[in-house]
Structure 1
Amino acid sequence: MQDKLTLMIPGPTPVPERVLKALSQHPIGHRSPEFQGITKRTNELLKWLHQTSQDVLTIAGSGTAAMEAAIINTLSKGDKVICGENGKFGERWVKVAQSFGLEVEVIKAEWGNPLDPEQFRKALEADAEIRAVIVTHSETSTGVINDLKSISNHVQKHKNALIIADCVTSLGACNVPMDEWGIDVIASGSQKGYMMPPGLSFVAMSEKAWEANKRSNLPKFYLDLSSYQKTISKDSTPFTPSVNLYFALEASLTMMQEEGLEVIFKRHERHKKATQAGIKGMGLNLFAAEGHGSPSITAVAPQDIDAEKIRKIVKTKFDILLAGGQDHLKGKVFRIGHLGFVNDRDIITAIAAIESSLESLNLLKKPIGSGIAAASKELN
């Protein structure tokens, strides 16, 4: 049977029928009163999701666009910044910062391990000229969650520094209270916890970040957030928006509000625990350090087994798409996405498919059903 693909990757994620129906509506004029109403409502819902009193700016672009916008709208050429790097996306923000002429200090952790907040504290205390700390909250490439709250706390004690957070795979999956944690800039993307197709990204900035924006001299035009800030006060956008994606955004955020933040966070934590238990139950190893797994992604390191072979059989036999390893992890890990529109059935199905695939390869280390039993116990 064709066309039964199930996405169990960390993005794009499954899209609810309610959101797809909203997406399929006929477009309307983006300068019309009707669209202004959608812009106003979605901004309020985005503020609820970010747990902030600040406006949340919507850009037609990916999460990388949001992160680039965060950097170029708050910093100036030659500014000193600290970038946390413990995966593919931490590496990316180092490259972006360097491409704009920033002086970058890198704080690293081995892929699979979390960043150490104490290293940030020491670096900040040693240099009063640091202008920003750039951190990936949930490192999509490794399935590691970093301690954003503690790092942000250290940044708040610094005279000049902002904290810029990549929350692309954490927002909508775990608690990220922007105002309470004192986060200056949060960037995210529509194809993750928002339960939408790719195409929109979001940037929220604190008052301190907007003050920094006045000093910023890095080149920008389409990603000039001051133009978005001016138009959002009129429930509008500076450029032609992705009209139908706004329809989807309102539908998805309404669904999230109906479920409630605490319930959403508990669901993701529960699915993380069930996935981890299922993987361990069938005799495979987790890649992320114990206790530091993301609620959005579980990375699996099947020792002495080609991870790509497992992915291929799961896709061929069960039409379930798992994510592969990136860069030096290709063939060494596979990743299971469990964020957004995912339920208990999806978790059980994915674990069963992996377990069955291993058995067909004669590589299953535990009796068949051990993984399912362990995952089911966490879901009961």
Structure 2
Amino acid sequence: MKLTIERAALLKSLAHVQSVVERRTTIPILSNVKLDGRSGRLSLNATDMDLDILETVPADIARPGATTAPAHTLFEIVRKLPEGSQVEIEVREEDGQLTLRSGRSKFSLACLPVEDFPVLSEGELPFRFTLTATELKALIDRTRFAISTEETRYYLNGIYLHAAAGEAGPTLRAVATDGHRLARAEVTLPEGAAGIPGVIIPRKTVAEVRKLIDETEGEITVALSETKLKFAFADAELTSKLIDGTFPDYERVIPTDNDKVLDVDCKSFAQAVDRVSAISSEKSRAIKLSLVTGTATLSASSPESGSAVEEIEASYDASPLEIGFNSRYLLDILGQIEGDTARFAMADAASPTVVREVADGSAIYVLMPMRV
């Protein structure tokens, strides 16, 4: 194999594929990226056996061929080359070594045989539909902060994607929860998505897909079965195994009859929460919200730091209420609300609170209160 490629194009693709490669692996071939050059394009393929990424970039192919090279080492080399440079990659037939040249720099890397590189066999993916980059971004951004990191509850370590009956018709819904908070977002059900099985997309897959969305315009094709899922972008494909587990019945924890309604300006409320939380203890991050007609008072205290109080205007006309929240969780939710006004629907100091954006009902958040 012999080819020439622009540094910028190679670096961009290597950045995507090398982040799938685990830093520590007992199987040497999984540390490598597969490079395959033919018919004017170089394809880069990496996998950790649960997640597989394949990306193609234009390249000047002098001699077609394929090899596998250490992914992180190759990325670091290309990253440190001067901007605007051309990169020449050649694999010698006699010893299988990869030689990389750019300007006056020359690197030789040991390679492993292409035949050893695993294929994450796709199998049948019977369900197929398309989403715009904006729709997929909204589903991910509005829910992924609530994904659990607790390994024992592995079925919560991802986003649950499924078709559901929304208030305005069928929807494609994404849900994540860690037991303390829940996030639910939805878009209109795309053609071809009716009848899809409910699937749990792993946290790592969500993170890699989210990186690719930022550099994508247009549509993304999603194909899935009960065990695998594939996202197809313009120049990249991401195939992932799904979490084999049952997502809990989240509808049961979304209260429908919370009657104490608080409307606040989202931005000023978030800033007040952030300021007051500077005093709350590092461990609990607890703040108290005291509500009376027309006013919301935020307060926090800790034996080490002292106390803080801030009062903000609010639309509230129910009976007085004191309720505590984890400030970090509250800020995570407020950060997803793009409109001006956030609405909190509460029942009492011990029951789950529902948070949503007044102008946009496509996302709903549930937050468990804290005792303060």
The structure that has the greater radius of gyration is 2
Q: Would you say same fold, with TM above 0.5?
A: no
| TM-score of the aligned structures, taking structure 1 as reference length | 0.26
More strand by share: 2
| TM-score of the aligned structures, taking structure 2 as reference length | 0.26
Q: Which protein, 1 or 2, shows the higher relative CO under an 8 Å CA cutoff with sep ≥ 6?
A: 1
